[in-house]
């Protein structure tokens, strides 16, 4: 016969085993929730959704009736609710913290605080009534790497039992995941904000650069009283050519800058040579012809956002047939941007009055450009330029750039659109020189 005491011991063992089994299944359940939470935090890209799901997982895994998750704003000293469940409409969306609360929460770290034991803190005094009304029992400051990033509010358990130490540990483990998700989000926002600031700074810098370039162009043009506005116009024509060639925004900007600055070397040429009211002699011409090389020297040490600007200055008087200066380069040896600026430059020279001659009529100028395509100018650049003008003449562009630069009357020369179209149709897309050199290399 078993002794009474033995029975009690056996009962005790059975109860203990039962308790262990219960604990184990609870543990398995909670760890499942924890794993799910970890996965949720790691995989969801929608932050709000992550927090909402996380709150539901905590409440669900511990059988808690109501609760909420808040994010802490350092600047506003507020806890802003991100997700709530069962707290009712009167629960505030933002809860203020004072300096003392912040200090205490940091000292407390990521550990659950029982609302009923925390009445000494100003936060629980200010919101005591609300917490009572919603029967909040547990408050967990989300302290991650010595920084409060948020808080979790938890109501009573469905069983009505108090939170056990074990429950609190689970809440803390889950809180760590949620806190990390908030901290990560904060970091991301900060990076986004910084990159926004950087972009703004970059835009400001670009604007400063553009203004400086324009100021330089104006300074160059000031020196030459007969070709007033020449650099600015060459910049604008180069920009149009870049657009017509299908370049991207950066490249088009680069073309404009190259045009604005192409004659910067003229700043060192004597004013009387630049402003000579007659055709200059050989000596003066040699002096003037130094301006591309000088321009290159001025521009090369500057860090331009567009690499070819100094090259455009150096080679804008080269010709495809090798009869240009300063180096007498042939077609493919000439940097492309210099070919663009060369056409823009020549076009402006032909279409503006000089002290010793009037500007030439539009039809004549376009005939000249066509005739010299493949000799002085790259044919595809001439075609692009013609297309730009034709688009405007046909009313396909909103801004009437050519009309502004050349005057209405000039652009309305009789038969201009027809002759331009004919020229365009007659033109070969590459220069004869290019074809010859291709044949040679083949
Ligand atoms: Fe020039
Ligand atoms: Fe020029």
Give the Å distance between the CA of 295 and the centre of ligand 1.
Answer: 9
Give the Å distance between the CA of 279 and the centre of ligand 2.
Answer: 16
Give the Å distance between the CA of 326 and the centre of ligand 1.
Answer: 11
Give the Å distance between the CA of 264 and the centre of ligand 1.
Answer: 8
Can you name the residues that pair with 357 across neighbouring β-strands? 354
> Residue 139 in 3-state DSSP?
strand
For 34, residues 6+ apart whose C-beta sits below 8 A from its C-beta are 61, 170, 173, 174, 177
What is the C-alpha separation between 235 and 242, in angstroms, rounded?
A: 11
Q: What is the pLDDT of residues 303-332, one digit of tens each?
A: 777 778 999 999 999 999 999 999 999 999
Give the Å distance between the CA of 286 and the centre of ligand 2.
Answer: 15
Helix, strand, coil distribution of the chain in percent, nearest 5: 60, 10, 30
> What tokens were used for 228?
């007033």
- Closest by Cα among 145, 224, 140 to 174: 140
Give the Å distance between the CA of 338 and the centre of ligand 2.
Answer: 11
| Fold (topology level) of 224-441 | Hypothetical protein af1432 (1.10.3210)
Q: Which ligand is nearest to the CA of 234?
A: 2
Looking at residue 313, its pLDDT comes to 96
| Fold (topology level) of 12-191 | Beta-Lactamase (3.30.450)
Q: What is the pLDDT of residues 216-272, one digit of tens each?
A: 888 888 877 667 789 999 999 999 999 999 999 999 999 999 999 999 999 888 888
Statement: residue 364 has pLDDT above 90: yes
Give the Å distance between the CA of 413 and the centre of ligand 1.
Answer: 28
Give the Å distance between the CA of 49 and the centre of ligand 2.
Answer: 61
Q: Which ligand is nearest to the CA of 265?
A: 1
For tokens 């809180």, name the residue.
175
Give the Å distance between the CA of 281 and the centre of ligand 1.
Answer: 17
What is the C-alpha separation between 256 and 241, in angstroms, rounded?
A: 9
Give the Å distance between the CA of 262 and the centre of ligand 2.
Answer: 6
- Range(s) of the chain covered by CATH 3.30.450.40: 12-191
Looking at residue 440, its pLDDT comes to 37
Give the Å distance between the CA of 266 and the centre of ligand 1.
Answer: 8
Give the Å distance between the CA of 218 and the centre of ligand 2.
Answer: 13
Give the Å distance between the CA of 387 and the centre of ligand 2.
Answer: 22
For 335, residues 6+ apart whose C-beta sits below 8 A from its C-beta are 308, 311, 312, 315
What is the C-alpha separation between 131 and 154, in angstroms, rounded?
A: 10
Give the Å distance between the CA of 161 and the centre of ligand 1.
Answer: 90
- Range(s) of the chain covered by CATH 1.10.3210.10: 224-441
Query: What is the layout of strands, in order, in the sheet containing 113-114?
Result: 94-96, 78-85, 67-73, 147-155, 136-144, 113-114
Q: What is the pLDDT of residues 377-434, one digit of tens each?
A: 999 999 999 999 999 999 998 889 999 999 999 988 888 899 888 888 887 655 444 4
> What tokens were used for 148?
């409060």
Assess contact for 83 and 51: CB atoms under 8 A. Answer: yes
């Amino acid at each position: 016969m078993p002794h009474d005491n033995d029975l009690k011991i056996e009962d005790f063992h059975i109860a203990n085993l039962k308790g262990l089994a219960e604990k184990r299944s609870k543990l398995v359940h909670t760890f499942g929730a924890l794993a799910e939470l970890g996965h949720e935090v790691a995989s969801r890209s929608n932050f709000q959704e992550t927090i909402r799901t996380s709150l539901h997982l905590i409440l669900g895994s511990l059988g808690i009736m109501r609760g909420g998750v808040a994010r802490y704003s350092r600047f506003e000293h507020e806890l802003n609710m991100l997700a709530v469940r069962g707290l009712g409409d009167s629960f505030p969306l933002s809860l203020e913290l004072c300096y003392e609360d912040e200090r205490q929460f940091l000292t407390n770290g990521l550990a659950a605080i029982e609302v009923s034991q925390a009445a000494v803190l100003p936060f629980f005094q200010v919101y005591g009534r609300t917490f009572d009304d919603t029967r909040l029992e547990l408050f967990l400051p989300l302290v991650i790497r010595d920084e409060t990033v948020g808080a979790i509010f938890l109501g009573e358990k469905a069983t009505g039992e108090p939170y056990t130490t074990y429950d609190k540990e689970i809440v803390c483990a889950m809180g760590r995941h949620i806190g990390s998700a908030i901290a990560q989000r904060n970091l991301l926002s900060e990076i986004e904000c910084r990159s926004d600031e950087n972009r703004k700074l970059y835009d400001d810098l670009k604007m400063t650069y553009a203004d400086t370039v324009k100021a330089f162009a104006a300074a160059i043009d000031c020196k030459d009283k007969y070709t007033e506005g020449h650099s600015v116009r060459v910049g604008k024509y180069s920009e149009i050519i870049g657009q017509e060639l299908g370049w991207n925004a950066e490249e088009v900007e680069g073309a404009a800058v190259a045009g604005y600055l192409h004659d910067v070397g003229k700043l060192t040429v004597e004013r009387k040579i630049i402003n000579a009211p007659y055709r200059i002699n050989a000596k003066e011409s040699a002096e003037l012809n130094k301006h591309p090389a000088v321009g290159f020297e001025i521009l090369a040490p500057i860090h331009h956002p567009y690499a070819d600007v100094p090259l455009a200055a150096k080679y804008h008087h080269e010709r495809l047939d090798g009869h240009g200066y300063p180096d007498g380069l042939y077609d493919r040896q000439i940097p492309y941007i210099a070919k663009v600026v060369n056409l823009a430059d020549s076009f402006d020279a032909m279409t503006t009055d000089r002290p010793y001659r009037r500007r030439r009529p539009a039809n004549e100028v376009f005939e000249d450009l066509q005739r010299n395509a493949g000799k002085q100018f790259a044919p595809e650049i001439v075609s692009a330029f013609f297309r730009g003008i034709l688009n405007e003449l046909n009313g396909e562009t909103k801004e009437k750039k050519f009309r502004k630069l050349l005057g209405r009357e000039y652009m309305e020369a009789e038969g201009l659109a027809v002759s331009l179209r004919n020229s365009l149709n007659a033109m070969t897309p590459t220069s004869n020189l290019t074809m010859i050199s291709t044949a040679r290399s083949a």
